[in-house]
Amino acid sequence: MTRRYSAFAIAREALREHTGWGRAWAKRPPKDRYDVVIVGAGGHGLATAYYLGKNFGITNVAIVEKGWLGGGNTGRNTTIIRSNYLQDPSAAIYEKARSLYETLSQDLNYNVMFSPRGVMMLAQTHHEVRGYQRTAHANALQGVRTEWIGPERVKELCPIMNIHGPRYPVLGALWQARGGTARHDAVAWGYARACTEMGMDIVQKCEVTGVRTEGGKVVGVDTTQGAIGCDRLGIVVAGHSSVLAEQAGFRLPLESVPLQALVSEPIKPCMDVVVMANTVHGYMSQSDKGEMVIGGGTDGYNGYTQRGSFQHIEETLRALVETFPMISRLKMLRQWGGIVDVTGDRSPILSKTPVDGVFVNCGWGTGGFKAIPGSGWGMAELMAKGHSPLTEAFGMERFREGRFIDESVAAGVAH
């Protein structure tokens, strides 16, 4: 049983030199069989396991991870949370996630550092003005609180911005006041700790090498730590989803693309909102440590690299420096890359598969972090009950039937 975190616990441990905390999550070898195996101990996989236990009482669960917990995209993203999407199914699942983030620290008894500082999406062309005004109207019908604001309000919210850029002046923005950021590592750690408390096993450095089926139904997986039997299998591995799907005997309409980001040297607080600029393909926020967190679009080629490149730095900063002149004087501290899985309509896949008992959660592209609680909630319901209102529109069959959920505008910038 993990210890509950509280002010009293901190005071007690301070008096005995913090010797009584114990592990946040258990380290156990895998058992021979589980009711459910989740492949991928990132945010989406851990959230799926957590809500399987919390909402449906399914706790005989293993979360297997070929690397380390949260070491994939969950630990490599830029932490932005918003739900101002155009299409109704997208707005529903992202708003569910955003609302769950509001109380996630209390639910998990772990501080995920959720900061509803507000997210603005700049309109720097007249086409974007019309598009974001349309989105604001759609959000009002969906029950998602956003508003269209003019350039003066943009400048008031973010004084360091140059709204009179000669090429791309700021004509307004779509503003979501309750959007913001959270600490990505803490989200994974909080879910992991809660899963352990429910008796689930988190098995790290355990790569799945094959999926076992009998009569078209999953019966288990082969791993580098031995065979593990299961009745249901969840594939939640982001950029490697197509690899696991091929092992299970089906294909996914995905491409895997590197996505890069960088942070500057830390500076004094100068920006307390998140700003996204789709026209120039860049976005920026300031972390609690003072670093300017900067990102842009995906690389122009398929790949599995997790390294940065000078071309990306130049391209992204060139795009942002006109709107944020001050960043031209900053030094870069570090950069990194992740592997995102992108679908044709830029919307995710949360679906049953041609193999009975195998479920897949993938295709989040550049927007996966913001969806973690809602994705886990819907995926858990799908695996437990066979259907979920949150995931119904995101099935694999939509590509065969032509029921696309086109979010190419909302997902136009890596975020």
Chain center to CA of 264? 22
Query: DSSP string spanning 79-134?
Result: -EE----SSHHHHHHHHHHHHHHHTHHHHHTS----B---EEEEE-SHHHHHHHHH
> What's the CATH number where 34 sits?
3.50.50.60
Mean pLDDT calculated for residue range 316-324: 90
- How far apart CA 191 and CA 181 sit, in angstroms, is 17
Query: DSSP string spanning 205-227?
Result: S--EEEEEEETTEEEEEEETTEE
Number of H helices, E strands in the chain: 11, 18
Q: Of 19-28, 74-83, 88-97, which range is least confident?
A: 19-28
Query: In the predicted model, is pLDDT for residue 1 greater than 70?
Result: no
Residue 218 lies in a domain: yes
With a pLDDT cut of 70, the percent of the chain lying above it is 98
* Sheet containing 119-123, strands listed edge to edge, beginning at the edge strand earlier in sequence: 147-149, 172-176, 119-123, 274-277, 282-286, 292-298, 255-264, 332-342
Task: Render pLDDT for 284-315 as a digit per residue (tens, 0 to 9).
Answer: 999 999 999 999 888 888 888 888 788 888 88
Q: HSE on the CB side for 112, CA within 13 Å?
A: 33
Residue 368 lies in a domain: yes
Higher pLDDT, 28 or 139: 139
pLDDT of residue 406: 87
Task: Tell how strand 292-298 and strand 332-342 pair up.
Answer: unpaired
Residue 197 lies in a domain: yes
pLDDT of residue 318: 87
Give the ranges where 178-333 is alpha helix by DSSP (H): 184-197, 241-248, 310-320
- How far apart CA 173 and CA 150 sit, in angstroms, is 7
- How far apart CA 332 and CA 293 sit, in angstroms, is 10
Residue 371 lies in a domain: yes
pLDDT of residue 118: 97
Contact by Cβ (8 Å): 115, 121: no
- How far apart CA 77 and CA 336 sit, in angstroms, is 9
Task: Render pLDDT for 28-53 as a digit per residue (tens, 0 to 9).
Answer: 899 999 999 999 999 999 999 999 99
Query: In the predicted model, is pLDDT for residue 414 greater than 60?
Result: no
Count of C-beta atoms within a 10 Å radius of residue 259: 26
pLDDT of residue 2: 66
Residue 169 lies in a domain: no
* Local structure of 168: helix, strand or coil: coil
Task: Render pLDDT for 182-230 as a digit per residue (tens, 0 to 9).
Answer: 999 999 999 999 999 999 999 999 999 999 999 999 999 999 999 999 9
Give the chain's end-to-end CA distance (angstroms, integer). 36
Task: Render pLDDT for 359-412 as a digit per residue (tens, 0 to 9).
Answer: 999 999 988 999 999 999 999 999 999 999 999 999 999 999 999 998 876 655
Query: What single DSSP character describes residue 78?
Result: -
Q: How confident is the model at residue 117 (pLDDT cuts 50, 70, 90)?
A: very high
Residue 143 lies in a domain: no
Query: In the predicted model, is pLDDT for residue 14 greater than 70?
Result: yes
Residue 303 lies in a domain: no
Looking at the structure of the chain, the number of domains it has is 1
Q: Which residues form the domain of 384?
A: 28-83+85-110+184-253+345-401
Residue 249 lies in a domain: yes
Task: Render pLDDT for 53-85 as a digit per residue (tens, 0 to 9).
Answer: 999 999 999 999 999 999 999 999 999 999 999
For residue 342, what are the β-bridge partners?
255
The type of residue at 22 is G
Contact by Cβ (8 Å): 381, 50: no
